[in-house]
Amino acid sequence: MSQVLSSLPREWRLSMPAEWAPHSTTWMSWPFDEEMWFGHLQEVRQEYSNLVRTLARFEPVQLIVRDEEAAASARELLSDVRNVTMHRIPLNDVWMRDNGPLFLLKSKDSPTDAPLVSFVNWNFNAWGEKYDWQLDNEVPKTLAEIFQWPRFDAPYVMEGGSLEINGEGLCITTEQCLLTPTRNPRLNKADLEKILHDYLGFDQVIWLKQGLEGDHTDGHIDTITRFANSTTVLTSVTPDRSDVNWERMQENLEILGRARLKDGRNLRVVELPLPDTKLFLADGTRLPATYANFYMANGAVLVPQYADRKDAAALDVLRRAFPQHQVIGLNSRYIINGGGSFHCLTQQQPKV
């Protein structure tokens, strides 16, 4: 049995590191189910395999496969990739950013007996019980048993995609997501800030308002606003005033412009374009296509592309923001049908 720690992570001086901290590996889950991908499972798997293949050039990938069909598909499409390890674990969905463990690291002030590898196991309810979630909610506990990682069980609903952090105690999130009553209906902002402090080590929270139209996660921050370093934030914008996202993104831009770091300095705010093309499902649901859903690996930034005329401009912005990384654009035109992209599909395990 893995150890469930009864104390809070803050008592051990543990905290969640920034995404640019070195990784030991990245966790992902292989796509399955034609219905989930609106009849485009094979195209999704092709894009997904290109993502895994590229990521594996920079760090190991741990790939969860739901069943033998998924495992066989992954083996076939990744037959030439050596840096991937598969794990058979039951799944409802593939968005490891949200149902996966949020890992913690020791600080220089941590007691000597603090665990080297540990994580917070939040409740996951598929973004307010929109879909089946019971199997996905068990994944962190299953991983803890396999690898004998100690864990902190948090009795709250929280998703990794709702939190953007700078590694120095600052978190950005949205009111639309964290205050949605289908998650933690009895909690207010002050309650949530204390929970984030106690479990992840954040001592400052910037609250943006809304996310993108059509985002079934209720406005996850990782589709709109991301840190490039501890003092620089990239935030999505559009020049199209007829787009409902224009007003939403402008309001967030203004909030970030007024925000201060703990030492009183302004955040450096860099505008990142949204794709020009508005993408929709057959039922008219708008897809939250965005370049902000990039994933930062060891030495690389992997950026979703949509065959849109803003693809190249977004890559230029990100190359300036990440001069020490290879910024690589990869197709995500079919993956976005599921409502997310590369950051939603990945969960980093920090190097200890």
pLDDT, one tens digit per residue, over 203-227 is 999 999 999 999 999 999 999 999 9
The pLDDT, as a whole number, for residue 2 is 81
Q: Are 44 and 191 in contact (CB under 8 A)?
A: no
What is the C-alpha to C-alpha distance for residues 31 and 42, in angstroms, rounded to an integer? 9
DSSP state of 345: H
pLDDT, one tens digit per residue, over 261-304 is 999 999 999 999 999 999 999 999 999 999 999 999 999 999 99
pLDDT, one tens digit per residue, over 67-87 is 999 999 999 999 999 999 999
- Rounded to the nearest 5 degrees, what angle is found at the Cα of 302, between the Cα atoms of 162 and 36? 60
181 burial level (CB within 10 Å; 0-12, 13-18, 19+): exposed
Q: What is the DSSP string of 21-54?
A: SPEEEEEEE----TGGGTT-HHHHHHHHHHHHHH
Whose tokens are 């990938």? That residue is 61
Q: Supply 186's token pair.
A: 């009895």
> In order of start, what are the domains of the chain with their CATH numbers?
9-350 (3.75.10.10)
pLDDT, one tens digit per residue, over 156-204 is 999 999 999 999 999 999 999 999 999 999 999 999 999 999 999 999 9
Nearest-CA neighbor of 86 among 56, 114, 119? Answer: 56
79 phi and psi angles, rounded to 5 deg: -60, -25
Alpha helices in 78-200 (DSSP H): 96-99, 126-129, 134-147, 175-178, 189-200
DSSP state of 70: H
Q: Are 127 and 218 in contact (CB under 8 A)?
A: yes
What is the C-alpha to C-alpha distance for residues 220 and 161, in angstroms, rounded to an integer? 6
202 phi and psi angles, rounded to 5 deg: -85, 135
Q: Are 186 and 152 in contact (CB under 8 A)?
A: no
pLDDT, one tens digit per residue, over 127-164 is 999 999 999 999 999 999 999 999 999 999 999 999 99
The pLDDT, as a whole number, for residue 209 is 98
Tell me the average pLDDT of the chain: 97
Mean pLDDT within 323-338: 98
Q: Are 124 and 187 in contact (CB under 8 A)?
A: no
What is the C-alpha to C-alpha distance for residues 81 and 351, in angstroms, rounded to an integer? 22
Q: Are 176 and 210 in contact (CB under 8 A)?
A: yes
Share of the chain above pLDDT 90, in %: 96
Q: Which residues contact 265 (CB under 8 A, 6 or more apart)?
A: 231
The pLDDT, as a whole number, for residue 1 is 78
Beta strands 170-174 and 164-165 are: antiparallel
Catalytic residues: 344
Mean pLDDT within 39-65: 98
Q: Are 88 and 67 in contact (CB under 8 A)?
A: yes
What is the C-alpha to C-alpha distance for residues 296 and 97, in angstroms, rounded to an integer? 13
The count of other CB atoms within 10 Å of the CB of residue 204 is: 17
Q: Which residues contact 188 (CB under 8 A, 6 or more apart)?
A: 179
pTM: 0.97
